[in-house]
Structure 1
Amino acid sequence: MSRDKPPLIDLQCEAHTYPDGTVGMHDVKFSVFPDEVVALLGGNGAGKSTLLEHLNATLVPDDGELVVGGTPITEENRAHARKQVGFVFQDADTQLVAPTVLDDVMFGLQNYGVSGDEARERAREALTTVDASHLEDRIPHYLSGGEKRLVGLAGVLVLEPSVVVLDEPLAGLDPERSQLVAKRIKEIHQEDISVVLSTHDLDFAAQVADRVCVMADGNVVGDGTPREVFYDDALLDDANLHPPSAVRVARDAALDATAQPVTEADLVALLTETGDSETLQTSSTDSSERD
């Protein structure tokens, strides 16, 4: 994460109210920096989707400002935000519009005037990036939920955005497909693209995120590293969230409080280290007794 560089997205939203009078967000200040994965957490109605849809100007603040890549976004240049900030919606079907997967991934490029041959080549590269090349001749609406999510992601990546936004990327996916999507998110990040995602799965957030933001009642109420957030009991209680499995197990097992594991891998490493220490202590005691 590069906070020494200007943010890729800087949102100041004093208020956003829906037509029915529902307040979606208020007093929100949210930035996305180069080279980071941000997980947005909160219960239903906390404002996560509302915030995400402000990041590419799908929604605009009633009072506030969105700046993308140093450019303030207005009614006249919303296209700049949508090109720089790719959005993968929770309902993947809303983004699938063409008769084949390849045509679908090419669609955005062609809207920007990219020629057929170049669009086709770039679309195939994007499908390769998400390991979905084998799907290019398939009919999008007959794909599985996980496959649709990957095709939607390819359709965003082909436009070469600086930030990819994913609204509940694991919604409706089985564990195997969820891990596939998690792997692709990490690979996208390795290509120097920042990622912002919302999720109800705190284990997934702990696995992929560099930074975690917690929302409640239309506002960002917490922001920090996974360790800072997931060991802040008061913050999680206020947002009606339960810590990831690794945090709960570490506490139940009374493991070293300073280690603060947040992922399964962290927990395994800590348990292995603890086990090795106990083995060494036992071996040392046995050796002393023999002497």
Structure 2
Amino acid sequence: MHDVDFSVYPDEVVALVGGNGAGKSTLLEHLNATLVPDDGDLVVDGTPITEDNREVAREAVGFVFQDADTQLVAPTVLDDVTFGLQNHGVPVDEARERAREALATVDATHLEDRIPHYLSGGEKRLVGLAGVLVLEPSVVVLDEPLAGLDPERSQLVADRIQRVHADGISVVLSTHDLEFAAEVADRVCVMADGNVAGSGTPREVFYDDALLAAANLHPPSAVRVARDAGLATTTRPVTEAELVAVLTDTTGSEPVEQPVPDGFGRD
């Protein structure tokens, strides 16, 4: 990484996008001082972070790793979510109560007695997220939160991320899924060659051909369809819902389902 200028502001969702090796995970690992820069400054809530005060960053910034198994260390889900609080000296009864509240935030209360390593990938991500939320950070960082998940589990995790943001916590995430970034992000940062090549709203970034080309990225499908339909110069939809709304306004009616030719069936 080099010459990176990156900030996270209150009450926003920031998506880091870019190809493999662009520096997304490395940048994320600086945000809670898992890594500390050799040159330059990491500042959290006005405090410069060094090797000697990393705990300041880790109290303010919670990190959910891509491989959820690296965070799951206890025999049950409830014990796991309680673990961080007990390390901070919180009494057992209070820690368990707060852990249950954190699990409820991500709709995972029903998992509290389960063995973490027997959970599905999506369930592990939710438990990892609860383990971070219980420490009451101001920023939550997620490295590839949808990696390896099927569509149903991906939607579940995406919904919980949006719920966390609605509770007033800033969210920073890396993703290869630009459709997901378009749905959840207030700001998109494009990374290439270890640097932030450009940033802006999803509408600004995903219609910037030169910026996406520099990072070897293709725009979301809604953007490609809007271009093909000649809509890109006016409304610039970036999500499927926005595209449907634009097409509906353009035709003046709801989209009509086309008949299926004989010999073809629907799933």
TM-score after normalising by structure 1: 0.86
1:238 maps to: 214
Unaligned runs of 5+ in 1: 1-24, 279-291
Q: Specify which of 157, 162, 169 is matched with residue 181 of structure 1.
A: 157
User: Alpha-carbon deviation of 1:121?
Assistant: 0.3
Amino acid at match of 1:197: L
Where in structure 2 are the equivalents of 1:200-279 lying within 5 Å? 200-255=176-231, 257-276=233-252
Amino acid at match of 1:171: A
Q: Specify which of 95, 109, 112 is matched with residue 71 of structure 2.
A: 95
Q: C-alpha separation between the residues in 1 aligned to 2:198 and 2:11?
A: 20
1:5 maps to: none
2:17 maps to: 41
1:26 alignment partner, SS class: coil
Q: Specify which of 122, 131, 145 is matched with residue 146 of structure 1.
A: 122
User: Alpha-carbon deviation of 1:69?
Assistant: 1.1
1:121 and 2:93 are equivalent in the alignment: no
Q: C-alpha separation between the residues in 2 aligned to 1:256 and 1:130?
A: 37
Amino acid at match of 1:85: V
Deviations along 1:227-286, one digit per CA (max 9) or x if unpaired, are: 0000000000110000001001111122252100000110011011111189xxxxxxxx
2:2 alignment partner, SS class: strand
Deviations along 1:69-108, one digit per CA (max 9) or x if unpaired, are: 1111122210111111000000000000000000000000
User: Alpha-carbon deviation of 1:150?
Assistant: 0.2
User: Alpha-carbon deviation of 1:53?
Assistant: 0.1
1:4 maps to: none
Bigger Rg over Cα = 1
Q: Higher RCO, 1 or 2 (CA under 8 Å, sep at least 6)?
A: 2
1:186 alignment partner, SS class: helix
Contact 2:36 2:51 in 1 (8 A): no
1:58 alignment partner, SS class: coil
- Against the structure 1 CA distance between its residues 257 and 277, is the aligned structure 2 distance closer, same or farther, given a 3 Å change threshold? farther
Number of equivalences: 255
1:157 maps to: 133
Deviations along 1:175-196, one digit per CA (max 9) or x if unpaired, are: 0111111111111001110000
Amino acid at match of 1:258: T
1:27 alignment partner, SS class: coil
Q: Specify which of 104, 109, 115 is matched with residue 133 of structure 1.
A: 109
Contact 2:59 2:137 in 1 (8 A): yes
Q: C-alpha separation between the residues in 2 aligned to 1:131 and 1:60?
A: 34
Q: C-alpha separation between the residues in 1 aligned to 2:227 and 2:179?
A: 16
